[in-house]
Structure 1
Amino acid sequence: MQNADVQDTDVQNAVQNAEQPAAAYSPDSGAGGIRPAALAALRALVGRPDADFHDGQFEAIQALVAERRRALVVQRTGWGKSAVYFVATKLLRDAGAGPTILVSPLLALMRDQVAAAARAGVRAVSINSANAHEWGAVLEQLRADEVDVLLVSPERLNNPRFRDEQLPALIDRVGLLVVDEAHCISDWGHDFRPDYRRLRELIAEMPAGVPVLATTATANSRVVTDVAEQLSVAASHGDPADAAPVLTIRGPLARASLRLGVLRLPDAKARLAWLLSHLAELPGSGIIYSLTVAAAEDTARLLREAGHAVYAYTGQTDTDEREALEGQLKRNELKALVATSALGMGFDKPDLGFVLHLGAPSSPVAYYQQVGRAGRATDNADVLLLPGIEDEAIWTYFATSSMPDEEKAQAVLTALAQSERPLSTPALESIVDLRRSRLELLLKVLDVDGAVRRVQGGWSSTGQPWVYDRERYARIAAERVAEQRSMIEYERTTECRMAFLQRALDDDTAVPCGRCDNCAGIWYPADVAADAAASASASLDRVGVAIEPRAQWPTGVASLGVPVKGNIPPGERLEPGRALARLSDLGWGGPLRAIFAPSAAEQEAFRQAQPAGEYDSPHGANPSDAPATPALLQACVRVLAEWGWEERPAAVVAMPSRRHPQLVGSVAQAISERGRLPLLGTLDWANGGPTGGSGGNSAYRLSNVWDRFAVGPELAAALEQYAGRPILLVDDIADSRWTLTIAGRLLRQHGAGAVLPFTLALQA
């Protein structure tokens, strides 16, 4: 976390000097024990003088406050899990206990929890990456013992200064530990996060008598057992034999307000056309979930252009903008947010009228969690799934992205063991061929396993042995596949959909809901207005995305035999380029995925959508290399026509390609002919051509293409005739952009002026 170490010693002093915890309430203290005080706190929290506890709420509060037990609460969204820990905090603080530590996974969830706590007279503050400007005030409140609940992310727990200096002092006086969205603790949870596994250590460090609460709405029996086992780890003080077993309070998960349905449409165009036709008819305001950032942005743009108050909300949305969008949706100033899973756990809008999915999550459990945002305080809310043929390919990518690679893990451990000082993540990138996000995830896994430790300056080895748990990862991978199959079964089932979701969560109270499309008949329209179909087609037919040029060499590439560092000289850089589309785009992304990353379903769907004979591959059923179709070539011409470059290219040069030589050649030839630009030729391979495959980090990707291209004699002679003139460089796909960067540098060294890269696809 940036600037995480501001005034850390002040925090340590503040928590050490604050009042120590007093005795807890006794179960028989006062008339009726703690119930009167608990009920008063609940009514303040919800703002209703007639409010009463739901089944299980008071039992959980009693266990935490009067019995100082460890409890796991598994209840449906909207049941009131937050009421349990806020009321318990209020009672414990009134009795003189220290503050509650609430581990919360998302900023949106933190904001809602802080606001809810205030209604109950509970003073909650958060420390996270988005509120660094408030940390000084938080320190003052801690110093004055004016903080009842401190919300932190699981990632924050491993900030070196917070972990080593602040957390121990806070643990000494903590009154209650709460782990929200506790399914994230478990490998088997649908939204497992490695940092959550570290909570097992934190739970073990809790002093004897400190209650611990874990809450979730989305846990099947396997996850419940796993979380309960982690809650039962022995406290650091006291005899484990004296500890009471973990209290598990689990209720029925049926959501009577939700009306579920599944509408299968042929493609993304049809799904968008349906939205354009019927979004205004959906009740109130809601959330439209998509599986990718590009899909969210494209969908929001299309709906907004059609006059709907709709915006995208993704992991790439600025933090301040996210907060503003959440507020607008809660105030019903928007019809919908088109969101990725970044808007999920804990987002609280009780009157949310609908949840739609453009593409299915990878498991019924994850789907239940997301649809649980709707209908929390209303009698009716509509939930509709519009699955896509590309869903399975997206599931496969995300299912494997969190699995550590044994070879890469051993390379990290070796590098850290051999280093005399901590290594930063960028330094490790020059040693281990992993992209930054994958490397950071691997380091978290190794950290939680005890093999490495995050310290000031980076990462260091603990010296503890580490064994790749092949069996565990194989079990997890098999479970992910089973979940995906179950999601497909949900889409196709003729039985009650709510009961299906309940059974997926091992809820044995499942009975037919009487409301879903299978129980009561189809409740949603299936027609698409002609003008909506035309608008969707036009939107999806948009072409052209920017390829930003590389401006700086990666750190540490000298160790890989690449003698460069710092900024790329302006005279060796590419100019901003263009790609036809991103692979993840809703429109042209589909045809491009069929070429570059085809699943069998996508290949077949793409072939069937083409005019007869237009996509006949000379390689039979494998379309991985074939000349570009007329439609694809026409789209490329449109990109060039809309480019708006400062100076028109004078000639075309093609990249050599092992995987798609016909494709690249046909695109370069067509651009040359239609643009009346001479095709000067193709770069040659040098030293055997590029090594390695796709993926990996910048340092390795650069080393794989360094000195691997050459300008042959004929191309060199042609370039002399166009010295100082702009050259259009054509390739099939841009991923790391290092191939284009090195090729453009080479062309400029041979006299070319500006080099403008053009590719069919952008991997982003």
Structure 2
Amino acid sequence: MSVDRTAVRERAEAVLRRLAGEHARLREDQWRAIEALVVDRRRVLCVQRTGWGKSAVYFVATALLRATDGAGGYGPTVIVSPLLALMRNQVEAAARAGIRARTINSANLDEWDEITGEIHAGAVDVLLISPERLNNPDFRDSVLPRLAATTGLLVVDEAHCVSDWGHDFRPDYRRLRTFLGRLPERTPVLATTATANARVTADVAEQLGTEPTTDTETTARTGTRPTTGTEPSGGTEPATGTGPATGTEADGGRGGRPDVLVLRGSLDRESLRLGVLDLPSPAHRLAWLADHLDRLPGSGIVYTLTVAAAQETAEFLRSRGWSVASYTGQADDADRRAAEQDLLDNKIKALVATSALGMGFDKPDLGFVVHLGAPPSPIAYYQQVGRAGRAVAHAEVLLLPGVEDAAIWRYFASLAFPPEEQVRAVLAALHPDRPLSTQALEPIVDLRRTRLELMLKVLDVDGAVRRVRGGWLATGEPWVYDEARLRRVAQARTAEQQAMREYAATPGCRLRYLRECLDDAEAADCGRCDRCAEPLFTPAVSDTALTAARTFLGRPGVDLPPKKLWPTGLDAVGVPLKGRIPPGEQALPGRAVGRLSDLGWGGRLRGLLGPDAADGPVPDDVAAAVVEVLKAWAHGDDRWSARPVGVVAVGSRRRPTLVGSLAERIASVGRLPLLGQVAPVGPPTGTGPRGNSAQRVRALHDAFTVDAELAAALAGLDGPVLLVDDLADTGWTLTLVARLLRQAGAPGVLPLTLAVAG
């Protein structure tokens, strides 16, 4: 049946005016996407810069599809969106266009039945869900089948999350394959992202349908960027699916499988002015911010690589008179929402944030983005700086890299998909009929919970396990560990890190470099960055700010809260501990000089406690910091309840000289008796990265002993002892050693370490 495409466009323009104002007009590439979805019922992948108007495409398409045929039209649009904050913004935008939108997420479980009823009654135009909903057993089994059968348009926002080649892979997105498979024939699908190079684009397009059909009117063929040196897009495999366009037919001549129209546009951001400042230390970077924040336009975001750095930076800037707030994944949801709103309302100069504020935050007039530390890839960097300058004439983007960045990258890289033997151990433990929870699996495999859950989600997508109420089941389906692909992904990550170093040092245009990393065939010199034009900012800092920053970062001392509960599932591995740790066996609150991730003491402590550091006596500057910690602990507002009466060392196989000399220095300065050490027994418990709590307790249970001489010394004490160690990683060594000391007669145990991991 012939369709009057001109009339369809006129209706689309009318919807857009309701959405964005009377002067709004569709760009040609926006219309091309809407036309493919509404008229041709195609699957479309839009790789377009932030601010291009991707949400306008799916809201306009929704309005047109819902009005089709004059009889209620097509079913609701389902938008899979990664963050609740983004969902809130999208619901508000939809309302302005007269589009009725609802969400199903973990925060409104009591509304699921009501919303499902509204969908079936045709009262909902748009349903927004998080990717995690796709594998929630109740949603997957009860809601998803009927929803998929009635969906009029499926939208996958931030579609780069589908690909494990991407910088922000999320396995829950892979569940979209199931959703796609249940859609009625010729149901249009739109996937959108601003951050996908040629490899990620090809991977996403392949998962949406088959090989992509690239629209050559809006982009050159993918995978054609010339490269020199290390390939920023990662690896050496050529991108697939780069053939020329084959017209607009939905089938594309591929045996009934839908093809995917890829619309790649220019990734230029004309409002952004990029720069890099190479400063010698964390103190210089904080001082620079304190001195120059007033020169940055409007309000903006200061990104950090770690939670500790975000909290420290915000605290320091507030001490210098700036109105700022911190934003991390560890903060309460209410606090994060309040911080977002304060930035939206320009009540604060900056939000100091981790990558938790990546996708999903929409402030069109954001005036600047500063990074204290470089993200691990140019693509991730482009995604974050893309928050700025969407509705202002110019915005400042500055990178302040640090020598510690590489160590942080290595840590996050260590959280990749586990080795095959650990995966096989989990598969062997699962039963086809009796589900095991993640907690029950922890004692079986030495993986932190977040990494274990990610692995299980991948196995679920691969069909080897199935998530049900109560946990996970084995399916019995054959499964192959794709070591070659995992190795290539790891190599791609390493190449991306090198590309980020090259970005900081490039003599050429910075925006062009980022666009080339995203395989933008139209990449050209921007004429605005600190390479194309005169730098706007210098690395100069005032003596006053630098002194303040050094003083702030030089303050030693962080809390060590005691453990109060044993991990679950220990009885399954022969450890007779469960529930609450009796108060008479707990450690008291402790102290450490600093965190390994601190901006101040972190670098010094990493050099002393890193895997390649030699054992030796405690350095004088570190010993002096320990003394400062003890003074503050003795006289501060949260001082110890009773002064320690002796010192005990944790016996160390890895750093016996360091720990022993530290205990001796503390005993000497504090004029306390050195009572001895809790000696390790049996084989070493390992020196690699620590896994989950259950495995750590399993390894440490019965791994130390209190000899008769130390027990006799403890029995006559009338106050707590200081328990000295070098590093608190999971915290379970201190917990179990403190338990031994309490059982041997110590009235109390005050842990004291040089560093806290994380």
1:165-244 matches, within 5 Å, as 165-232=142-209, 241-242=255-256
Match of 1:734 among 728, 742, 751: 728
Confirm or deny that 1:707 pairs with 2:707. Answer: no
Q: Provide the C-alpha distance between the structure 1 equivalents of 2:319 and 2:500, rounded to a whole number of angstroms.
A: 33
Distance across 2 between alignment mates of 1:629 and 1:692 = 23
Partners of 1:501 and 1:262 lie apart in 2 by 13
- The Cα offsets for residues 285-321 of structure 1, whole Å up to 9 and x where unpaired, read as 0011111111011101111121111111111121122
Please show how residues 53-72 of structure 1 align to structure 2 within 5 Å.
53-72=26-45
CA-to-partner distance for each residue in 1:721-743, whole Å, 9 max, x for gaps? 31x42111111111222211111
On the 8 A contact 2:556/2:628 being kept in 1, the answer is: yes
Cα distance, 1:597 vs structure 2? 2.9
1:588 corresponds in structure 2 to: 601
Give the corresponding residue for 2:60.
87
Aligned residue for 1:401, secondary structure, equals coil
Distance 2:640 2:451 in 1: 36
**Aligned to 1:392, what secondary structure does the other structure show?**
helix
Query: Which residue is 1:558 aligned to?
Result: 571
Return closer, same or farther for 1:448/1:404 CA change in 2, 3 Å cut-off. farther
Letter in 1 for 2:544: D
Partner residue in 2 for 1:617: none
Change (3 A) 1:300 1:70: same
- Among candidates 555, 558, 562, match of residue 542 of structure 1: 555
Structure 1 residue aligned with 2:359, among 345, 352, 359?
345
Aligned residue type for 2:324: V
Question: 1:226 Cα shift?
Answer: 1.1
Deviation at 1:139, TM superposition (A): 4.4
2:643/2:719 contact within 8 Å kept? no
Moved more, 681-690 or 568-577: 681-690
1:569 to 582, 585, 606: 582
Aligned pair 1:257/2:308, yes or no? no
Other structure's SS at 1:579 match: strand
For residue 666 of structure 1, report the CA deviation from its aligned partner.
1.8
The aligned residue for residue 743 of structure 2 is 749
Q: 1:244 to 1:420 in 2, by over 3 A?
A: closer
Post-superposition shift, 1:44?
1.3
Separation in 2 of the partners of 1:468 and 1:690? 28
Q: Which residue of 2 aligns with 1:103?
A: 80
Unaligned runs of 5+ in 1: 1-24, 599-621
Alignment deviations for residues 494-536 of structure 1 (CA, whole Å, 9 cap, x no partner): 1011111111111111111110000002111321011111111
Q: CA deviation at 1:428?
A: 0.5
Q: Contact 2:443/2:698 (CA < 8 Å) preserved in 1?
A: no
Distance 1:68 1:688, change over 3 A: closer
Q: Match of 2:317?
A: 303
Distance 2:323 2:419 in 1: 44
Q: Matches of 2:393 and 2:684 in 1, distance apart? A: 64
* Residue 240 of structure 1: how far off its partner (Å): 6.3
- Provide Cα deviations, 1:233-264, integer angstroms capped at 9, x if missing partner: 59xx9996345531111111111110000001
Secondary structure, aligned partner of 1:520: coil
Q: Secondary structure at the match of 1:649?
A: coil
Per the alignment, residue 160 of structure 1 pairs with 137
What code does the residue aligned with 2:134 have? L
Secondary structure at the residue paired with 2:752?
strand
Matched, 1:513 2:490: no
**SS in structure 2 of the partner of residue 430 of structure 1:** coil
Q: Tell me which of 644, 649, 654 is aligned to 2:649.
A: 654
Are residues 62 and 699 of structure 1, via their aligned partners in 2, closer, same or farther at CA, if it must alter by over 3 Å? same
CA–CA distance in 2 between the matches of 1:133 and 1:642? 48
Change (3 A) 1:421 1:472: same
1:435 shift after superposition: 1.3
Structure 1 residues 694, 520: CA separation in 2 closer, same or farther (over 3 Å shift)?
Answer: closer
Cα offset, 1:33, TM superposition? 2.3
User: How far does the alpha carbon of each residue in 1:460-480 deviate from its partner, in whole angstroms, 9 at most, with x for none?
Assistant: 011111111011001101111
**For 2:7, which of 13, 20, 33 is the aligned residue?**
33
Which amino acid in 2 is paired with 1:382? E
Q: What letter is aligned with 1:642?
A: A
Hey, what does 1:283 align to over in structure 2? 297
Shift of residue 196 of structure 1? 1.3
Residue deviations 1:388-408 (CA, integer Å, cap 9, x gap):
101111112222313232111
Letter in 1 for 2:80: V
Shift of 1:541: 1.4
Change (3 A) 1:356 1:327: same
- Distance in 2 (alpha carbons) for counterparts of 1:127 and 1:308: 38
- Distance in 2 (CA, whole Å) between partners of 1:624 and 1:55 is 63
Question: How does 1:617-632 map onto structure 2 within 5 Å?
Answer: 623-632=613-622
Distance between the aligned counterparts of 2:520 and 2:474, measured in 1? 43
For the residue of structure 1 that corresponds to 2:751, the secondary structure is: strand
- For 1:78 and 1:689, the matched residues in 2 are separated by 55
Deviation per residue, 1:195-239 (Å, 9 max, x gap):
1122123222211021000011111111111111111159xx999
Shift of 1:354: 0.3
CA deviations 1:424-463 (Å, max 9, x no partner) are 0111012112111111111111111110010011000111
CA distance in structure 2 between the partners assigned to 1:270 and 1:731 by the alignment: 31
In structure 2, the partner of 1:395 is 409
Against the structure 1 CA distance between its residues 244 and 733, is the aligned structure 2 distance closer, same or farther, given a 3 Å change threshold?
Answer: closer
Hey, what does 2:632 align to over in structure 1? 642
Q: Say if 1:689 and 1:705, in contact at 8 Å, map to a contact too.
A: no
Separation of aligned partners in 2, 1:90 and 1:159: 29
Residue number in structure 1 paired with 2:384 = 370
Aligned length: 710
1: distance between equivalents of 2:632 and 2:207?
Answer: 58
User: 2:210 touches 2:257 (CA, 8 Å); kept in 1?
Assistant: no
Matched residue type, 1:519? C
**DSSP 3-state at the match of 1:249:** strand
Question: TM-score, normalization: structure 1?
Answer: 0.90
Q: Distance in 1 between matches of 2:117 and 2:348?
A: 37
Distance between the aligned counterparts of 1:345 and 1:209, measured in 2? 30
1:43 match: 17
Could you say which residue in structure 1 is the equivalent of 2:425?
411
Give, as a single letter, the amino acid of the residue that structure 1 aligns with 2:747: G
Structure 2 counterpart of 1:749, which letter? Answer: Q
| Contact 2:76–2:119 under 8 Å retained in 1 | no
Give the SS at the match of 1:640. helix
Q: Structure 1 residue 328: deviation in Å?
A: 1.3
The one-letter code matched in structure 2 to 1:414 is A
**Structure 1's 242 and 691: CA in aligned 2 closer, same or farther, altered over 3 A?**
closer
Match of 1:439 in 2: 452
Gaps of 5+ in 2: 212-249, 634-638
Aligned residue in 1 for 2:658: 663
Question: Which position in structure 2 is the counterpart of 1:612?
Answer: none
Task: Show the 5 A alignment for 1:421-436.
Answer: 421-436=434-449
Normalised TM-score (structure 2): 0.91
What CA distance in whole angstroms lies between the structure 2 residues aligned with 1:444 and 1:243? 26
For 1:457, the equivalent position in structure 2 comes to 470
**Take 1:170 and 1:702, find their aligned partners in 2: how far apart are those partners?**
45
What amino acid is the match of 1:549? P
Residue type of the alignment partner of 2:608: I
Partner of 2:540: 527
Q: After superposition, what is the alpha-carbon deviation per residue over 1:25-50, rounded to whole angstroms, capped at 9, x for unaligned? A: 97317xx221111101111111x212
Q: Corresponding residue for 2:238?
A: none
Distance 2:159 2:346 in 1: 30
- Aligned match of 2:280: 266
The two structures, once aligned, show a CA RMSD in angstroms of 1.9
- Kept in 1: contact 2:310–2:354 (CA 8 A): yes
